[in-house]
Amino acid sequence: MIDTAGIRRKSKVNENIEKYSVIRSLLAIERANVCLVMIDANEGVTEQDTKIAGEAHEAGKGIIIVVNKWDEIDKETGTLEKYKKEIYAKLSYLTYAPIIFISAKTGQRVDKLFDMINNVAKQNSMRVSTSVLNEVINEAIAIVQPPTDKGKRLKIFYGTQASTKPPTFVIFVNNKELFHFSYERYLINQFRKEFGMQGTPVRIIVREKNEKEEKI
Ligand SMILES: Nc1nc2c(ncn2[C@@H]2O[C@H](COP(=O)(O)OP(=O)(O)OP(=O)(O)O)[C@@H](O)[C@H]2O)c(=O)[nH]1
Ligand SMILES: [Mg+2]
């Protein structure tokens, strides 16, 4: 475990310390399998939280959002759900990351964290067989037809998993330009439905393949 120093500019004098903390955090992210993004329940998601969480996401790491100091919050029914919504609204690219509400002070739910870390690490290094992957791709194509543009329709020939940490899939298509972001997002959502992959980013690499070549 690497415990990074807090990143918050408290005064001008601390600017260098802050820069150093950021560099150390980036190095820690690189070395990690799973990153816990610690949020102070009193403050909510800060700009710096967003930046650091973004780095973990870009680095393809497993991510868990940990809201600490939950003991200090006045709770009513629905408080937890409200918090979750607010967090996902601010960290919109992290909706795959589970959120856990803990108190380091009282120990509330801290024991649950370790199962979560193990699970997210597993999801981050998940392998999907080519045959199962293509079943899911074919089903996805049948539910929502690939898009057309200027009279040309996107054709998805097949896919295969290229690497893990994070799960990265290569998808072979007739024309890269037709593989719009919205369809990519749809496919990733279908993958998540079928494979779980909770707490891990998922990547798709699109490759073009000649249609005639494909028919042989
Ligand atoms: N009420 C409450 N206070 C907490 C909790 N966790 C930490 N604190 C308090 O928050 C303050 C900061 O705690 P630290 O553990 O030093 O926080 P940190 O984020 O590691 O700080 P740096 O390592 O300096 O960046 C201390 O006064 C703690 O007692 C919690 O779950 N509940
Ligand atoms: Mg500390």
**Number of domains comprising the chain:** 2
Summarize pLDDT for 135-192 with one digit per residue, the tens.
999 999 999 999 999 899 999 999 999 999 999 999 999 999 999 999 999 999 999 9
Mutation pick for ligand 1 pocket among 3, 38, 68 (CB with most ligand atoms within 8 Å): 68
Are 99 and 184 within one domain?
no
Ligand 1 atom 10: residue of nearest CA: 69
- Which residue, 63, 51, 1, is CA-closest to 26? 51
From the alpha carbon of 103, which atom of ligand 1 is closest? 31
Summarize pLDDT for 5-63 with one digit per residue, the tens.
877 666 666 778 888 888 999 999 999 999 999 999 999 999 889 999 999 999 999 99
- Of 124, 159, 194, which marks where a domain is finished? 124
CA of 73 to the centre of ligand 1 (A): 15
Q: Is residue 158 part of a domain?
A: yes
Count the helix, strand and coil residues of the chain and give each as a percent rounded to the nearest 5: 45, 20, 35
Q: Is residue 3 part of a domain?
A: no
The amino acid at residue 141 is I
What is the model's pLDDT at position 62? 98
Are 113 and 182 within one domain?
no
- Which residue, 47, 3, 49, 53, is CA-closest to 24? 3
Q: Containing domain of residue 209, as a range?
A: 130-215
- Of 68, 90, 124, which marks where a domain is finished? 124
Are 118 and 18 within one domain?
yes
CA of 91 to the centre of ligand 1 (A): 23
Summarize pLDDT for 59-70 with one digit per residue, the tens.
999 999 999 999
- Of 104, 124, 144, which marks where a domain is finished? 124
Are 48 and 75 within one domain?
yes
CATH at 60: 3.40.50.300
Strands 62-68 and 34-40: parallel
The alpha carbon dihedral of 93, 99, 101, 103 has a sign of negative
Residue 215 in this model has a pLDDT that exceeds 70? no
Q: Is residue 27 part of a domain?
A: yes
Are 104 and 193 within one domain?
no
For residue 125, count CB atoms less than 10 angstroms from its CB and return exposed for 0-12, middle for 13-18, buried for 19 or more.
Answer: middle
CATH at 142: 3.30.300.20
The alpha carbon dihedral of 26, 31, 32, 33 has a sign of positive
Ligand 1 atom 6: residue of nearest CA: 104
Indicate if ligand 1 lies below 6 Å from the C-beta of 46: no
Are 175 and 198 within one domain?
yes
Ligand 1 atom 29: residue of nearest CA: 105
Single pTM value for the model:
0.92
Ligand 1 atom 28: residue of nearest CA: 105
